[in-house]
Structure 1
């Protein structure tokens, strides 16, 4: 039987107001005015509107990932060594808001430099936006949960608020952007006007998130001297739960990256490319519903066990699709059920990450919120990139021919596998990883000892 530790430190900071939870979440609503738009429309804008080769754009994005990985770790180190009247994370969230909005507008503007000059302009603006200013927002904002409260359930609610708000932002972006561009008359000028609107919304939401949240948590062993990068990494490597959650993040974002197969599935399996919009609505709607439904379940079962329940639901959704993978009704119903099942994993991942911070502090005496979160972010991007590459490799090996109206049987089999079996296998590996995760049972005892 697990001994329950009544921790007065938890009770004193456990209750976070609904307003603060919503304020924390609205930051990701704003950031998805940036991130979701770049993910969905950057390539299209520069190929179809500006006229740059898709190969050039792909190379720029792939090469920029190298800078992005280094900037994540650097930003985490900066957060860990920030001492400001607003806290460790909040100052950087505020500082990121205006530059993030401004570079978003510049990225979706035509400079008129010619093709080589425009490619250079894209490289500079893309890295300013994603590698510098988006990292300046995302790493501190993710880290902030560990600084708002040490209560596990409240952290889960904060992260669910964040994920729901971000999903709503992404849904609106996917539905509204093309329609707004057409309303403004199309062309470069119309795109720029639309992104001015998105930039204003993004900056306002991020600033609101800054003003209506508060950092409450500080290490009992905190001192003025800085944590060296070497000491921070040594502390990470000795944290067994950080290693598990790093692998969990790679698997979770690997599943998310496989959504790139959706457009192929509706085109070559369902034979109806227009079904893509409906598919995305079912996906986002189920994600939001799943994150809301999981709140009371987490309180009763804990994060880990809720993910186990989610896997069973995800398995049922996959089976529904496989009963008749060519029928739209089966695909929509199965995808909705899969979304409900995936929500506990993707919604709880940030909470799994921040809970490892207290374990690391207890084990090593070093509290390094920023480095923990930034290194996990780097791992998630690795998982995203690995799955994206796997998608392309498997399609190529299957004999897929882009633009062809008819694909070989091996190609369609690979597309179905990437849509159903492979995400399920990755989720199963995530469940296996979580079987070794016992921190939920140990957490109160660790926190009690930290505050003795």
Structure 2
């Protein structure tokens, strides 16, 4: 087999061969795999714990809060482990190979319902869900860190992240639409049997997809053999916070996921109590996921030609106008509301792969500025901001509903107004803040020169 040509930088080399379509699609397989398992957890675990396993909602709320904070704190630790990994498969790929099966097994165990006491059930849930979060971090952080190691080219990174966003949406749509019918069918009406069977099927598919990502995706940006790459963690963390573009990208992503946590949670309440169309809940949930999928396809073509930062600012601004217009069509026309809601979320969904592309560029900037590429640390710390954003968004939703006096048996005008604010008003404010944050991000204009400078060194 012929050796691929490489370019060299200060301590790093990169294959100059362009990424194939197969490799780009294979990278997207990783997020389909993640969402077959973690998407199942996010969508159905609350229902499973309260309605199938028999744990109280309040206890589950505390469980989620504690375990998700703990899970987020594990991200930087995992990032450091990735940066210190040196194997025949590279820094990130071995985790996709070896952690996939434990991840699948823990996923099934989490959805098993042993006949324990109430306390025993809660302890079982804490242990299984807590360990599942750790194992998920052990495979998802390396998966995210693989992207900037596949290419320096911003356009190629944009395509990789578009396929990743498409994969995530495909996984979310399949899980949302297939899970309950499969649970009832395969369990013969017994959900305690149906859930672990379905989770086993999803886990097998997820393991295969992670292995395909491992097989076809290569680490092309690598340290030279004679270069010492042992990461000084304290120094790298200090440099990370001096990387102004990484800080801005992480803040932008934090805001994106705060809005996601709010909108995904409040949509059911909005359709039920403001639109007063409870039978339309599945329709709007599917519409939201399909919009995110369309946003990934949209990004696939746009990011090849235009700046991630400038296009995001433009689309966020249009989304703000569209979200504001929903105030005026609220309850007037399902068709018009659906169209505007869909387009707004396509534009918002575009921002995720665009932001991940910017994250990849900030790693090049880190190397340019400080001579090191701690991909694992930078990606994991970014992941921390996204997980914290979802947790904060979900918490804000719960606290706001409680403050308004939410009672499903007696929905007041005050509660409806709060739901409307959470559904439209707060996302508008958050999206405007994202535009402000991106205004200070100037790396798009500098990145090509930075890559050329790294080549010359």
TM class, shorter-length: over 0.9
Which residue, 97, 101, 104 being the options, matches 2:104? 101
Q: Deviations over 1:237-270 (max 9, x none)?
A: 1111111112111111011111210010011011
Q: Are 1:37 and 2:45 an aligned pair?
A: no
The residue aligned with 1:46 is 49
Cα distance in 1, alignment partners of residues 115 and 330 from structure 2 = 47
Could you tell me how far 1:93 is from its partner in structure 2?
Answer: 1.4
Could you tell me how far 1:286 is from its partner in structure 2?
Answer: 2.0
State the TM-score, normalized to the length of structure 2.
0.93
The residue aligned with 1:298 is 303
The residue aligned with 1:229 is 233
CA contact (8 A) 2:15 2:221 kept: no
Give every structure 1 segment of 4 or more consecutive aligned residues whose post-TM-superposition deviation is greater than 6 Å. Answer: 7-11
Q: Are 1:265 and 2:270 an aligned pair?
A: yes
Which residue, 21, 24, 38 being the options, matches 2:24? 21
Q: Are 1:391 and 2:397 an aligned pair?
A: yes
Which residue, 325, 328, 336 being the options, matches 1:330? 336
Q: Are 1:127 and 2:130 an aligned pair?
A: yes
Q: For 1:113-152, what aligned pairs fall within 5 Å after superposition?
A: 113-130=116-133, 132-152=134-154
Q: Deviations over 1:271-297 (max 9, x none)?
A: 122211110222122222222123332
Which residue, 331, 346, 368 being the options, matches 1:362? 368
SS in 2 for 1:80: helix
The residue aligned with 1:189 is 193
The residue aligned with 1:282 is 287
The residue aligned with 2:4 is none
Which residue, 336, 343, 354 being the options, matches 2:349? 343
Could you tell me how far 1:111 is from its partner in structure 2?
Answer: 2.1
Cα distance in 2, alignment partners of residues 294 and 78 from structure 1 = 31
SS in 2 for 1:326: coil
Q: For 1:67-216, what aligned pairs fall within 5 Å after superposition?
A: 67-130=70-133, 132-184=134-186, 185-187=188-190, 188-216=192-220
Cα distance in 2, alignment partners of residues 242 and 183 from structure 1 = 47
CA contact (8 A) 2:317 2:432 kept: no
SS in 2 for 1:411: helix
Paired residues in the alignment total 443
Query: What is the Cα-based RMSD across aligned positions, in Å?
Result: 1.9
CA contact (8 A) 2:147 2:160 kept: yes
Q: Deviations over 1:303-358 (max 9, x none)?
A: 11111221133124314421121243333122101112112212212111121111
Structure 1 residues 204 and 221 mapped into 2: Cα distance closer, same or farther (>3 Å)? Answer: closer
SS in 2 for 1:301: coil
Cα distance in 2, alignment partners of residues 55 and 93 from structure 1 = 35
Could you tell me how far 1:58 is from its partner in structure 2?
Answer: 1.5
Which residue, 435, 438, 453 being the options, matches 1:434? 438
Cα distance in 1, alignment partners of residues 14 and 222 from structure 2 = 16
Cα distance in 2, alignment partners of residues 322 and 280 from structure 1 = 19
The residue aligned with 1:239 is 243
Cα distance in 2, alignment partners of residues 249 and 361 from structure 1 = 21
Cα distance in 1, alignment partners of residues 17 and 330 from structure 2 = 46
The residue aligned with 1:4 is none
Structure 1 residues 230 and 222 mapped into 2: Cα distance closer, same or farther (>3 Å)? Answer: farther
CA contact (8 A) 1:80 1:371 kept: yes
Structure 1 residues 356 and 315 mapped into 2: Cα distance closer, same or farther (>3 Å)? Answer: same
Could you tell me how far 1:11 is from its partner in structure 2?
Answer: 10
Could you tell me how far 1:27 is from its partner in structure 2?
Answer: 1.0
CA contact (8 A) 1:308 1:431 kept: yes
Q: Deviations over 1:20-57 (max 9, x none)?
A: 01100011101101111101111111211111111112
Unaligned runs of 5+ in 2: 1-6
SS in 2 for 1:218: strand
SS in 2 for 1:300: coil
Which residue, 394, 415, 419 being the options, matches 1:415? 419
Unaligned runs of 5+ in 1: 1-6
Q: Deviations over 1:117-167 (max 9, x none)?
A: 22111111101111x211011101111011100000000100110110111
Cα distance in 1, alignment partners of residues 445 and 177 from structure 2 = 42
CA contact (8 A) 1:309 1:341 kept: no
CA contact (8 A) 1:40 1:174 kept: yes
State the TM-score, normalized to the length of structure 1.
0.94
Cα distance in 2, alignment partners of residues 14 and 444 from structure 1 = 18
CA contact (8 A) 1:317 1:333 kept: no
Cα distance in 1, alignment partners of residues 349 and 113 from structure 2 = 38
Could you tell me how far 1:226 is from its partner in structure 2?
Answer: 2.0
